[in-house]
Structure 1
Amino acid sequence: MKRLTVFTNKLFEGMPEGGETEKVKEEIIRDLEEKVSDLIEEGKTEEDAINKVIVEFGDIEEIKREMDLPQTPKDRKQELARLNFGFSLWGSCLIVALVVFVNFYYTPHVIWFIYPSFGIAWWPLSMFYHLHRKKLENRS
């Protein structure tokens, strides 16, 4: 079950060492070993059971949030990229709404709000690209 220990240590890389972190690590390893034992009893090979448990483990971010651990710089950058994307979506919607109001209030017979709306749409599109790039960087 050395692979489970290596897997857990890799998950906790970059996290501050301490008593609470070690307790959580040991608890995770114990839970993973129990799941592997259950799968072996069901008839799976040890290798298959370990692979299945690792795949089904999930995301370590939930555990970090529960432990109130500081985010890694990569996590912080992705969170800022998500915030920028949300801000750009709301901001561009408000600006487009203002342009539509001005268009229909002052010149209802000419529809011109479409032209600045296309220009404004590039803001959230660029922020979406930035967010997507940060997600890809975090995966590698």
Structure 2
Amino acid sequence: MQKIRAYVEEQFADLPETEQIATLKEEIMDSMEEKAADFMLGGKAEEDAINKAIVDFGNLAEIKKEFQLQQEPKQKDGKLKKQKEDMSTLNLGFSICGSVLIIGLLIFVNIYYTPHEIWFVFPTFAILWWPVSMAFVWMKARRRKVMHR
């Protein structure tokens, strides 16, 4: 059943050789070999049984893709930290701009519809929690960056 082993090895050639990948490959090979053996017991020739086992097993690309998605955070730890820091900066800027726009709208509505009562101050305090919380997330990301240097 060398053809099954060669097929599985070829399919996983682009992934790093880790213990988890080796275990996954062994499980897939064992499963395909068992299926081919069942087909041979059913009367198929060895070559036909192996080919049918490979086809029936399904697409290994989907299994590889799922496995790569699980492994990505471990492999790209530095890249993820950079992305988190960039996102925290973006979130902070977005929250400041969004808060300014919302507060500006409240001021306009207050002055236009009820100029004798100043009520926009009260929702302003609630809206300001958004950029304040994002500022803490941004500071935490910066602190992590400094500590990892």
Q: Give the TM-score normalised by the residue count of structure 1.
A: 0.47
Higher relative contact order (CA 8 A, sep 6+): 1
Normalised by the length of structure 2, the TM-score is 0.44
